[in-house]
Amino acid sequence: MSENGYRGLTHFDEQGAARMVDIGAKDVTAREAIARGEVIMRPETLQLITAGRVAKGDVLGVARVAGIMAAKETGRLIPMAHPINLTGVNVDFRLREPDRVEIQARVRTTGKTGVEMEALTAVAVAGLTIYDMCKAVDREMVVGSVRLIRKTGGKSGTFTREDEQEWDI
């Protein structure tokens, strides 16, 4: 397999064709993933969000619900992701003066595959929702830095990004 460059890439077979990984023989374990991202905006846009003066309504409330819904739909959005029965999804925000909203998603399940994609999808969609809700006043917003912070459970064990701190929420 090494000569074709697919060693370690589980979503490709030995011929390089895409495949959905068979998780049937995996153990059921408690699994959790935390992901983060951010939306960078003009300071005036953040002030509107903070004051609750965005014309479309409660920006962070809608973004929270969108992130939760996105986590639940990940198996339909990401081609090789398995549909997963989630046991919990939290989406939280930190307002960082002068110009950004930080987003964190924590997703949990008890199952045969991890929830990293669900946490990352929740963050991305929450960020896109913030953009959508505020685009009338700020089309220069940037949704980015979506990354896995921590994951636990499964055969590969725990991963923790070394340059990140846990949020006290």
Catalogue the active-site residues. 132
**Do residues 38 and 145 make contact, with C-beta atoms less than 8 angstroms apart?**
yes
Give the C-alpha separation, 87 to 46, whole Å: 32
